[in-house]
Chains A and B, each alone.
Chain A
């Protein structure tokens, strides 16, 4: 199976983030979870679970401090999928 491109991953992430986007702001690659979307830590962890199930991966919670934007998560998911592929 070929891993999806980072653009495709970002599009999927936007879909997953949508239910958490209470203020209905426009989602951009640089949109941040804590500041722009105002997600608290518990909500972020639920979003992580949704991302894990969508891509069938593990995204350890200890990586979260480095993943502030949608694009950073997309890059991380891309890396994890590439590792699984190899």
Chain B
């Protein structure tokens, strides 16, 4: 009998080699105790977390926790049903109202995760005979949504308005088109040239969807993302977002001013055929979203942290993926997988947790140590992160080029 697992032998061997090198398992880190938004106990060691998506530091906010506790007490642990059957409670409606207020939008639909929101919109908006045009570095949920749908999938070079235009020109003028973009790309933390990309899409009569998962709360005057920062709210047709980053719980959403947007609740399978979020989760999300509408101090501190860490790492001689801090994600480019694993492990042993990222999650041949900042990181913690990077590089004898001045 053929063993269906044979095809995974390559990846099993690769992982075994990482463990043989004496490293922790990079894909199996356990937070034994979470102390705060920025610290956890890992292997009995107090560790600074620099690889979470807790950008705005809302996970331990007393009001956000209290809202969740109250909803848990009042409505129980779960809805045990789909949004279109028994799974819509008043708390689900309330969080959608909060999103409409946050984005100043006519419609908001909440999904059970951000992955499902992208899966739902990408697979449902375009159909047979339509075209879905995506950035080459799109998140897996966008690729998977395309694969699930029936539209023809066209890919353009990452963040290149010229390449997007070249491809749009080749498509039939009268075909339905959806251009899918992200405000901030999560692997390198780079911001999209949204104004140029949206102008090209609109010139070719395409609808535009922007995933603002990694910008909510701290980019744009009201924290609505790169779309708002670049003044494109009247041109972007759909915004996708998540509760699992700045909002600090879990869930996904889509907002839009399209007059017929609500029909998606009846045709979008990743919305219909899964259980809705527990009431405590959406109650916390609602509270958090409303707090994020007035979170100027947190925002300012998050940007300070990101800029300070970016400049500090460059001064130490590390190579960063972006010339300056463009978001709360900083990607340190590493030479190869072996060095990446060693450095990642050396940091963890010294009490700093970052993400290790490798292809296919990253662009071809790119190995990264990915850092993400939190508004709750203190200036002292940022200093400690920098000192630890220097020490860990020494531990593994990583040669660093001469310090680079910030651009």
Contacts and interface: CB of A to CB of B under 8 A. Distances in A.
A58 B364 contact: no
A62 interface: yes
Interface residues of A, number: 17
A58 B134 CA distance: 13
B154 A57 contact: no
Interface stretch (B29-37, B163-171, B342-350): B163-171
Dominant SS at the A interface? helix
Interface in A38-82: 40-43, 45-46, 48-49, 52-53, 56-58, 60-63
Contact of B154 (A41, A53, A56, A60): A60
Nearest to A63: B152
Given A61-B153, A61-B155, A56 B170 contact: yes
Contacts of B364: 42-43, 46
A39 to B, nearest CB: 11
Nearest to B169: A56
Contacts of B166: 53
B45 interface: no
B167 A52 contact: yes
Contact of A49 (B146, B155, B363): B155
A1 to B, nearest CB: 15
B146 A61 contact: yes
Interface in B100-155: 131, 136, 146-147, 151-155
B147 A49 contact: no
B71 to A, nearest CB: 42
Interface string B14-39: 00000000000000000000000000
A30 to B, nearest CB: 22
A13 B364 CA distance: 22
Nearest to A41: B360
A62 B359 contact: no
B202 interface: no
Contacts of A56: 170
Nearest to B167: A58
A58 B171 contact: yes
Contact of B360 (A42, A46, A52, A58): A42
A34 to B, nearest CB: 12
A68 B172 CA distance: 27
Contacts of B155: 45, 48-49, 61
B170 A58 contact: yes
Contacts of B157: 49
Nearest to B359: A42
A62 B152 contact: yes
A49 B147 CA distance: 18
A74 B273 CA distance: 40
25 contacts: A40-B360, A42-B359, A42-B360, A43-B364, A45-B136, A45-B155, A46-B364, A49-B136, A49-B155, A49-B157, A52-B170, A53-B166, A56-B170, A58-B131, A58-B152, A58-B154, A58-B170, A58-B171, A60-B131, A60-B153, A61-B146, A61-B154, A61-B155, A62-B146, A63-B152
